[in-house]
């Protein structure tokens, strides 16, 4: 059992490792990455348990019951004063590793996991001790509701060894990546982002990015939602870009990569190019969306939402 506890400790360290990455920006209704979660986890047979997680949705749940005496029998010998004791104790542990998938506006997530149920039985009497370890596969799936900003409720259906069906319920604390509108990163108006466009367009983009950085630094809340994020950056870029016929407000929503971000598109040499409006404010060396976001950005999911947000740029 000591080895098992050691493995469990390693799994906990893996699950709580924070997901450090690029500066991420979010619309109000987008999926935000889970950086850390911890809470109580209950199962009928083992009510003592907890769930811990991180890495944008990876979680591990543990339930245990140590040194449970399943039976104890004491017998006496009629020809002597000796007593003989038979006792069987068991240490039970269930642990599940899974991923909580995004379903809807980050309010509902779908936890799906696989794990192991381990029972270590020890039988002892006056003559000898026996130890036996039994393991069974656990499969689970369910729902996780994220409520009141930092709280979650969860429930899963579990099958153990394809023989026994049970459930788990849990509640606890969940922390998401802060909205990366740049509020924690100082702007650098002198930083010039790289470009492969013609000189006029490049200058227009660079000058507009400087104005966006100024607005973000001054916390200009264009849509009045009380938050400074990618909505304000995209609206600011649209407002300050000199040629309105060559600029759009664009959204990219891709549940497969977790992308849900508002940015801008600029018409360059007959092609619409995606521009990260927070590039200069966040000190990126390149303002193209593909350079800033890498594989997380798939341009096939781009959608023009200019008419939805243009009213904020007046």
pLDDT digits (tens, 9 = 90+) for 35-63: 678 999 999 988 899 998 875 678 899 99
Task: Please indicate, yes or no, if residue 217 is contained in any of the structural domains.
Answer: yes
Question: How is residue 241 written in tokens?
Answer: 């870009």
Where residue 86 falls among pLDDT bands split at 50, 70, 90? low
Whether the CB-CB separation of 208 and 313 falls below 8 Å is answered with: no
| Same-domain status, 153 and 13 | yes
Please check the confidence at residue 10 and state whether its pLDDT lies above 90.
no
Task: Please indicate, yes or no, if residue 66 is contained in any of the structural domains.
Answer: yes
Q: Calculate mean pLDDT across residues 16-22.
A: 41
Task: Please indicate, yes or no, if residue 42 is contained in any of the structural domains.
Answer: yes
Task: Please indicate, yes or no, if residue 182 is contained in any of the structural domains.
Answer: no
CATH number at residue 11: 2.40.160
Task: Please indicate, yes or no, if residue 122 is contained in any of the structural domains.
Answer: yes
| Same-domain status, 151 and 207 | no
What pLDDT, on a 0 to 100 scale, did the predictor assign at position 36?
78
Mean pLDDT of the chain: 77
**Alpha-carbon span 162 to 304, nearest angstrom:** 48
Task: Please indicate, yes or no, if residue 191 is contained in any of the structural domains.
Answer: no
User: Which of 116-125, 164-173, 242-251 has the least mean pLDDT?
Assistant: 116-125
Task: Please indicate, yes or no, if residue 189 is contained in any of the structural domains.
Answer: no
Burial of residue 19 (CB within 10 Å: 0-12, 13-18, 19+) is middle
| Same-domain status, 232 and 289 | yes
Total structural domains within the chain? 2
| Same-domain status, 223 and 309 | yes
Task: Please indicate, yes or no, if residue 291 is contained in any of the structural domains.
Answer: yes
DSSP 200-227: HHHHHHHHHHHHHHHHHHTT--TT-SS-
Q: What is the pTM of this model?
A: 0.48
Percent of the chain with pLDDT over 90: 43
Of the candidates 55, 99, 24, the one whose C-alpha atom is nearest the C-alpha of residue 252 is: 24
Among the candidates 141, 176, 211, a domain finishes at: 176
Give pLDDT tens digits for 267-292: 988 899 999 999 999 988 889 999 99
Among the candidates 176, 207, 242, a domain finishes at: 176
Whether the CB-CB separation of 34 and 53 falls below 8 Å is answered with: yes
Domain encompassing residue 164: 2-176
């Amino acid at each position: 059992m000591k080895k098992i506890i050691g493995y469990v400790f390693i799994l906990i360290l893996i699950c709580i490792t924070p997901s450090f990455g690029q500066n991420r920006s979010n619309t109000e209704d987008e999926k935000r990455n889970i950086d850390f979660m911890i809470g109580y986890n209950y199962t009928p047979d083992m009510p003592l348990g907890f769930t811990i997680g991180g890495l944008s949705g990876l979680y591990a749940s543990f339930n245990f019951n140590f040194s449970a005496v399943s039976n104890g029998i004491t017998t006496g010998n009629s020809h002597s004063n000796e007593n003989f004791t038979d006792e069987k104790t068991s240490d039970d542990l269930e642990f599940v590793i899974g991923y909580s998938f995004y379903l809807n506006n980050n309010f509902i997530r779908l936890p799906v996991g696989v794990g192991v149920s381990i029972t270590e039985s020890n039988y002892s009497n006056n003559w000898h001790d026996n130890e036996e370890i039994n393991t069974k596969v656990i499969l689970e799936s369910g729902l996780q509701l994220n409520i009141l900003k930092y709280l979650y409720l969860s429930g899963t259906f579990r099958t153990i060894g394809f023989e026994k069906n049970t459930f788990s319920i849990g509640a606890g604390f969940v922390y998401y990546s802060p909205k990366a509108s740049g509020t924690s990163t100082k702007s650098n108006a002198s930083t010039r982002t790289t470009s492969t466009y013609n000189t006029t367009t490049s200058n227009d983009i660079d000058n507009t990015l400087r104005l966006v950085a100024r607005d973000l630094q001054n916390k200009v809340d264009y849509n009045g939602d009380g938050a400074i994020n990618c909505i304000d950056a995209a609206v600011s870029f649209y407002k300050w870009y000199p040629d309105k016929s060559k600029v759009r407000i664009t959204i990219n929503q891709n549940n497969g990569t977790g992308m849900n971000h508002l940015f801008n598109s600029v018409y360059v040499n007959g092609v619409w190019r995606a521009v990260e409006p927070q590039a200069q404010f966040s000190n990126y060396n390149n303002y193209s969306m593909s350079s800033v976001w890498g594989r997380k950005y798939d341009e096939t999911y781009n959608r023009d939402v200019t008419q939805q947000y243009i009213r904020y740029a007046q």
